[in-house]
C-alpha cells in the first residue's frame, strides 16, 4: 500500500489505468498510456521500468508469467493487484471530486469568471 494514496503520481495513475482490465507487457503498457493520454505521456524505457519496479515493490501491481511462451522469448507481463485496484479507485474518486466541484462552478463551458 502506498503511504499516501492521495498523492498517486500521474505516471502511476496512468499505468494502473492501463492495467485495470488486462495484463500487459512493458511495451504494451507504454502504448496504452500513450493512447489514453492522447500522446501526451510517453514512458521511455528507464522511466517505465523504473515505475513498474517501484509499483511492484509498493504492491500495486505484480509480475505474471507469460504462460506457454518459451524461455527464449518470455516477456514479463504485469497485472494489477487488489491494493492497486483500491489505490486506483481512491485516485479516481479524488479526481471525480474535483470534476464535481468544477461542474458545480460551471467551468466546463469555458465561461469562468476570474
Partner 1 sequence: MTDRRFSRRVYRALMRLAPNHLQESHGLAMEQMFADLLESETARRGVTGWLAIWLGAVRDLIDASIADRVAWAKRKRAIPAASRLRSTLGPLNDISRSLRLLKQKPGFALVAVLTLAIGLGANAAIFSVIHAVLLRPLPYPEPDRVVTLWESRPQDGRPRSLVAPPTFTDWRGEARAFERLVAYSPGNSALTGGPFPERVATVSASSDVFHLLGVPMRHGQAFPENVFPGADDQLAVVSSGFAQRWFGDPAGAVGSSLTLDDREHIIVGVLPGDFRFPEQADIWLPLTFAPDQLSDPMRGARYLNVLGRLKPGVSVEQAQADVDAVSLTLGEQHPNNRGWGVRLIGLHDLMVEDYRQNLILLQIAVGFVLLIACANVVSLVLARASDRLRDRTVKRALGATRLHLLHQSLSENLTLTLLGGVAGVVLAAWTVTPLVRLAPAAIPRIDDAAITWPVLLFCFGAAVGVALLMTLVQHGAGVMLRSFVRLGAVDPGFATENVLTVSLALPRSRYENASQQNQAFESMAERIGRLDGIEGVGLTTNLPMIGSAWPFGFSIDGRPPTDEQLVAEFHAVTPGYFDALGISVRGRGFDGSEGPETPAVVIINETMAARHWPDRSPLGERVTVVSQNGAVSREVVGIVADVKHAGLVADPKPEVYLPMAQDTWAFGLLVIRGNRDMHALWPDIRAELAAVDPTLPLTMRPMTDIIARWTAPLKFQMILVGLFAAFALIMAALGIYGVIAYLVSMRTNEIGIRMALGAKPGAVFRSVVGQGLVLAGLAVPLGIAGALVVNRSLSSILYQVSPGDPMTLAGISALVVVVAMLACWLPARRAMRVDPMTALRWE
Is there binding between residue 26 and partner 1 (CB under 8 A)?
A: yes
Furthest-apart CA atoms within the chain: distance in Å: 61
- Look up residue 22 and give its DSSP letter: S
Is there binding between residue 97 and partner 1 (CB under 8 A)?
A: no
Is there binding between residue 42 and partner 1 (CB under 8 A)?
A: yes
At 44 the three-state DSSP class reads coil
- Look up residue 96 and give its DSSP letter: H
Closest CA to 62 of 49, 52, 72: 52
Is there binding between residue 64 and partner 1 (CB under 8 A)?
A: no
Residue selected from 18, 30, 55, 60 as contacting partner 1 according to rule CB under 8 A: 30
Number of residues this chain uses to bind partner 1 (CB under 8 A) = 15
Please calculate the CA angle 26-80-33 and round it to the nearest 5 degrees: 45
Stretch of 40-48, 81-89, 90-98, 101-109 lying at the interface with partner 1 (CB under 8 A): 40-48
Contact set with partner 1 (CB under 8 A): 26-27, 30, 42, 44-50, 52-53, 75-76
Amino acid at each position: 500500500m502506498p503511504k499516501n494514496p492521495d498523492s498517486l503520481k500521474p505516471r502511476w495513475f496512468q499505468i494502473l489505468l492501463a492495467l485495470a482490465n488486462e495484463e500487459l507487457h512493458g511495451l504494451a503498457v507504454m502504448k496504452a498510456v500513450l493512447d489514453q493520454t492522447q500522446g501526451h505521456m510517453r514512458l521511455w524505457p528507464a522511466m517505465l521500468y523504473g515505475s513498474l519496479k517501484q509499483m511492484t515493490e509498493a504492491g500495486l501491481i505484480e509480475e505474471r508469467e507469460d504462460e506457454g511462451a518459451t524461455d527464449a522469448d518470455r516477456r514479463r507481463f504485469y497485472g494489477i493487484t487488489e491494493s492497486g485496484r483500491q489505490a486506483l479507485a481512491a485516485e479516481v474518486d479524488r479526481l471525480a471530486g474535483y470534476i464535481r466541484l468544477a461542474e458545480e462552478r460551471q467551468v466546463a463551458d469555458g465561461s469562468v469568471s476570474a
